[in-house]
Amino acid sequence: MSPHDLPTLRLLHGTSQDVVSIPQLGFGTYKIGPSEAERAVTRALEAGYRHIDTAQMYGNEAGVGRALAASSIPREQLWVTSKLDNPNHAREDALTSWEASMEALGLEVLDLFLVHWPLAHSPGIDLVDTWRTMIEILESGRVRAIGVSNFQAEHLRTIIEATGVSPAVNQIELHPYLTQRPLRERHAELGVITQSWSPLGRGRLLKDPVVASVAAGLGVTPAQVVIRWHLEHGLVVIPKTVDPHRMAVNADVWSFELDAAAMAALDALDRGLRTGSHPDRVQLPHPG
């Protein structure tokens, strides 16, 4: 499939002049350091990715920005997501760090900006205040959509009830070992798109015998099977790799499908296994 035909999902935000649709497959950049990011993102663009997922926390926005600047791909064919870092929730910090992200990325307009973690039990953090600042950023016209990450149903309810503005996306840990079914169902009711982080379970799923058996039956790799599982569930999936061969393999998922039996076998792997932090455990340190 050519990059022009990558499937997209329409987001809640946008206008009749600017319909906002996110490419369903993206390239994750967590743990790709500042010096590696330019090369990795350049390789990812060459491999056909048109959606890059970065964050203030990753420290690699400038490297991502250099790769975007050096690419000849028209801006309108690219999708870039970044995320508000945990120490930057206060309005002034959010606005200043947002400007710094735009500068580092070298962008006039960002496609999607997310609140990285809810920090719901952190002193001094008010999720509604943070979300109001995100709405202010959306209203500036320099971001096409805003969303959240690692929010649980209660956090979503709090910000939507207070502001009337739903996040376009909730980016959460999600893979066959952590299928997040109740939260996905809530997102579907709200019109929120679900994005899967650590979609390969940070590589753990690639050794799973059920995944291996589905892959062998189709003549594809375990990573391709897992990525396809996300796509068939209507999720946005952002696998990360620094290996150019793996980048190409992970993006080559359009010539096969998983049948109902394979999907059911993969769904049944759910064991509530988190490879990253639980949203309640990521907190700011208590001042003093």
Ligand X SMILES: NC(=O)c1ccc[n+]([C@@H]2O[C@H](COP(=O)([O-])OP(=O)(O)OC[C@H]3O[C@@H](n4cnc5c(N)ncnc54)[C@H](OP(=O)(O)O)[C@@H]3O)[C@@H](O)[C@H]2O)c1
Cβ closer to ligand X: 10 or 278?
278
> Quick one: which of 4, 32, 72, 54 has its CA closest to 246?
32
Residue of minimal Cβ distance to ligand X: 28
Of 102, 239, 251, 262, which lies in the binding site for ligand X, with binding defined by CB under 6 A? 239
7 binds ligand X (CB under 6 A): no
Chain centroid, CA 3 distance in Å: 18
Q: Is 4 annotated as a binding residue?
A: no
Cβ closer to ligand X: 139 or 245?
245
Of 165, 210, 242, 273, which lies in the binding site for ligand X, with binding defined by CB under 6 A? 242
Gap between the Cα atoms of 180 and 125, Å rounded = 26
Cβ closer to ligand X: 102 or 220?
220
DSSP for residue 64:
H
Q: Which residues pair with 47 in a beta bridge?
A: none
Kindly state the smallest distance separating residue 278's Cβ from ligand X, in Å: 11
Q: Which residues pair with 19 in a beta bridge?
A: 14
Gap between the Cα atoms of 271 and 117, Å rounded = 23
- Please provide the distance, in angstroms rounded to a whole number, between the alpha carbons at the two ends of the chain: 54
Of 165, 190, 206, 212, which lies in the binding site for ligand X, with binding defined by CB under 6 A? 206
For the chain, what is the total number of helices (H) and then of strands (E)?
A: 10, 10
Joined tokens for residue 99: 């400007």
Joined tokens for residue 203: 């590589």
Interface characters, 216-235, with ligand X (x: CB under 6 A): -------x------------
197 binds ligand X (CB under 6 A): yes
Residues 6+ away with beta carbon under 8 Å from 207:
222
Specify whether 30 is catalytic. no
Cβ closer to ligand X: 91 or 245?
245
Q: Which residues are catalytic?
A: 58
Interface positions with ligand X (CB under 6 A): 28-30, 53, 116, 149-150, 171, 197-203, 206, 223, 238-243, 246, 249-250, 276
Annotated binding site: 116
- Residue set of the binding site for substrate: 116
